[in-house]
Amino acid sequence: MKKVFHSAESRGAANHGWLQAKHSFSFASWYNPERIQFGALRVLNDDTIAPGMGFGTHPHDNMEIITIPLQGALEHKDSMDNTGVIEADEIQVMSAGTGIYHSEYNKNKDQSVSLLQIWIFPKTQNVTPRYDQKNIKDLKKANSLYAVVGPDSEEAALWIHQDAWFHLGEFDRALKTDYTVKKKGSGVYVFLIEGAAEVAGHKLEKRDAIGIWETDQFVLNVTPDTRVLTIEVPLNE
């Protein structure tokens, strides 16, 4: 088993006034040659957007974009004529493919919105752009990891153009659980949203992360009031 630990404090930071951002991997003006990507995982941004503010219309192409709101409401508009609002317990996916334009704004004028935005390199270039969002409340399993995004719509609520699997877990008690790698050659990036845990023998606290590869399975030992996101991706990207 191989591992790489990324502490919360080691992430890049950007303060734009209306946007407070933390970057797990090199992004915008923050560059770290040792933190470009983890296999097909290119971006994991931890953003807080001020009331009524947001990202104006901008382009993307050939990227799978997954947005996970943690608190508040995010308003989306794009060049495919999709409009909508996503909130906590919902997830949005967008295949940029041949190219799209979109904007993202805090829907509320009286509270911030916090979210994770994740970019995954697709396994196929120049696909037809697509958009989807779903509520994940019915998928939740207490004190267990549950699938939210995958390569097959039958296995998870949302699908993307990559052999990648996203799992969330909310734990209200201490327990030990195993993660079994789904595809040979994949690595798993474990991001601790809240709480504390020991993952593959390494202690993690809030917003710490660890990448794990060259193993078929590893153990998560979580404490009460812990929330975790796991992202399994191909490493040869």
Condensed to tens digits (0 to 9), the pLDDT of residues 118-130 reads 999 999 999 999 9
Whole-angstrom distance, CA of residue 39 vs CA of residue 233: 6
φ, ψ for residue 10, nearest 5 deg: -85, -5
**pLDDT for residue 237:** 64
Indicate whether 214 pLDDT > 70. yes
Can you tell me which residue has the tokens 């990227």?
Answer: 63
Q: Give the pLDDT band (50/70/90) at residue 152.
A: confident
**pLDDT for residue 236:** 84
Q: What does the domain layout of the chain look like in residue ranges? A: 11-123, 138-234
Q: What is the pLDDT of residues 130-149, one digit of tens each?
A: 999 999 998 999 999 999 99
Q: What is the pLDDT of residues 55-64, one digit of tens each?
A: 999 999 999 9
Other beta carbons less than 10 A from residue 46's beta carbon: 20
**pLDDT for residue 64:** 98
Indicate whether 169 pLDDT > 90. yes
The answer to whether the CB of 147 falls within 8 A of the CB of 179 is no
Q: What is the pLDDT of residues 9-32, one digit of tens each?
A: 999 999 999 999 999 999 999 999
Residue 27 DSSP code: B
- CA angle (166 as vertex; 89, 63 as ends), nearest 5: 100
Could you tell me how far CA 50 lies from the centroid of its own chain?
20
Domain 138-234 = CATH 2.60.120.10: yes
**pLDDT for residue 31:** 97
**pLDDT for residue 153:** 67
> Looking at this protein, which amino acid is placed at residue 194?
E
- CA angle (13 as vertex; 123, 54 as ends), nearest 5: 75
Domains 11-123 and 138-234 share a fold: yes
Q: Give the pLDDT band (50/70/90) at residue 156.
A: confident
178 closest CA partner among 150, 212, 139: 212
Q: What is the pLDDT of residues 38-50, one digit of tens each?
A: 999 999 999 999 9
Can you tell me which residue has the tokens 């009331």?
Answer: 51
Give the pair of three-digit tokens for residue 135. Answer: 């509520």
102 closest CA partner among 128, 83, 121, 119: 83
- CA distances to 47, 51, 120, 143, 153 from 91, in Å: 15, 20, 15, 20, 14
R_g over Cα of the chain: 17
Q: Report, at the CATH architecture level, how domain 11-123 is classified.
A: Sandwich (2.60)
Q: What is the pLDDT of residues 69-122, one digit of tens each?
A: 999 999 999 999 999 899 999 999 999 999 999 999 999 999 999 999 999 999
Q: What is the pLDDT of residues 171-184, one digit of tens each?
A: 999 999 999 999 99
What average pLDDT does the structure give for the chain? 95
